[in-house]
Amino acid sequence: MGRFTDVAYAAYAKRLTRQLGAAPVPRHVGVMLDGNRRWAKARGAGASEGHQAGADNIVNLLSWCDEVGVEVVTLWLLSTDNLNRPEAELRPLLGIIQKAVDTLAEAHRWRIHPVGALDLLPAETAARLKAAEETTRDVDGMLVNVAVGYGGRREIADAVRSLLHEHAGRGTSIEELAEVIDVEHIAEHLYTKGQPDPDLVIRTSGEQRLGGFLLWQSAHSEFYFCEAYWPDFRKVDFLRALRAFGDRHRRFGA
């Protein structure tokens, strides 16, 4: 029965790939890796087992993105709100994230770029994220943003703070800055500065809200909500998201 299921699954994946045809491929895909704890609870397991199962699925996703030509992926691994979880859950979770990011860096297939308020993280976690970025700086591969200690509101506040510091250093007065500031000035100070905005944002686990993910950058993104918990997210789920993206007519507010 298992072999039959595997064959049927492979055939379905091939059919989905054919259906994509010449459909546009998103340059930047944002993914909210949601549902690890609920996945674990449904199996009578602990939260750490769910987080580890989720971490184990990350390389699969990045490989699928590579196959279709995605240029940038943003993975939301830990929000600023998650930092308020009980220490008994948070400490193991941070350890799992650190190991997952180390694994991505060691593969030397992708360029790692941490996005988030690293100053809110334990020193070891922040150091490991920065080391992964440095190790992969010259890799000629897909750019992978790892969002750890990330919150969309915090990112915008940090961008405005950075902008103010920059202009204060130039001697620009608040009144002068108020006369010229526009959205592009703020965009230049986001964690993702210089990157294309996400074309497609995927959230697993059946939840249909952004929860603060890429609030600024997702103004014109397409959204795809998947019922599967993140550890169960399969290639066919990814291909369905691409198919839905290809079927939409993007108006960019026009």
From CA 206, how far away is CA 40, in angstroms rounded?
A: 16
Question: Do strands 28-32 and 200-203 pair parallel, antiparallel, or not at all (unpaired)?
Answer: parallel
How many angstroms from the chain centroid is the CA of residue 146?
6
Tell me whether residue 82 is one of the annotated catalytic residues: yes
Residues across the chain: 254
Alpha helices in the chain (DSSP H): 2-20, 36-42, 47-56, 58-68, 87-107, 123-135, 152-170, 174-180, 183-187, 235-247
Among residues 66, 82, 102, 158, the one annotated as catalytic is 82
Sign, CA dihedral 104-110-111-115, equals negative
- Hunting for tokens 């009578």 — which residue is that? 44
User: Which residue type occupies 239?
Assistant: L
Alpha carbon 117 to chain centroid, angstroms? 15
Q: Which of 34, 197, 199, 237 is catalytic?
A: 34
Catalytic residues: 34, 82
